[in-house]
Amino acid sequence: MRWATSRRSSGSRSRPTCPPTSATRALDIGCNAGFYSFELARRGADVLAVDVDEHYLRQARWAAAELGLADRATLRRLGVYELAGLDAEPFDVVLFLGVLYHLRHPLLALDTIAPLVAAGSSCRR
């Protein structure tokens, strides 16, 4: 599945889009206050949003309730390396935006995430 354009992309570099459906499972790693998680959820995806920082997750929980998206976006405190222990099927969409350069072990993070990306799905970083 190919969906979403980077907010940093110019219009001319945008890719064709394929909106998520209610069957789309998405993982947002380093979700912060949940902007992209909620955009996915608003378009119908079932989202697991994780972040290592409880401060941001509190903001995200508040926003999820305000936006009426709490049932479509599950927020969990998890660091990217802890995803190795996640008992979940691979996701159709994986967002890993603005996190890589924060990490001490970026390649380990990519190795950890790779099995969580379903074949043919998207991973943006």
Please report whether residue 53 would count as binding ligand SAM according to CB under 6 A. yes
What is the Cβ-side half-sphere exposure of residue 89, based on CA atoms within 13 angstroms? 12
Please report whether residue 54 would count as binding ligand SAM according to CB under 6 A. no
Name the residue nearer to ligand SAM (CB basis): 31 or 41: 31
Torsion of CA 14, 16, 22, 23, to 10 degrees: -110
Query: In residues, how long is the chain?
Result: 125
Please report whether residue 80 would count as binding ligand SAM according to CB under 6 A. yes
Please report whether residue 106 would count as binding ligand SAM according to CB under 6 A. no
- Angstrom distances, CA of residue 37 to CA of 11, 17, 54, 60: 22, 17, 16, 9
Please report whether residue 68 would count as binding ligand SAM according to CB under 6 A. no
Contact residues toward ligand SAM (CB under 6 A) are: 29-32, 35, 51-53, 56, 79-80, 97-99, 102-103
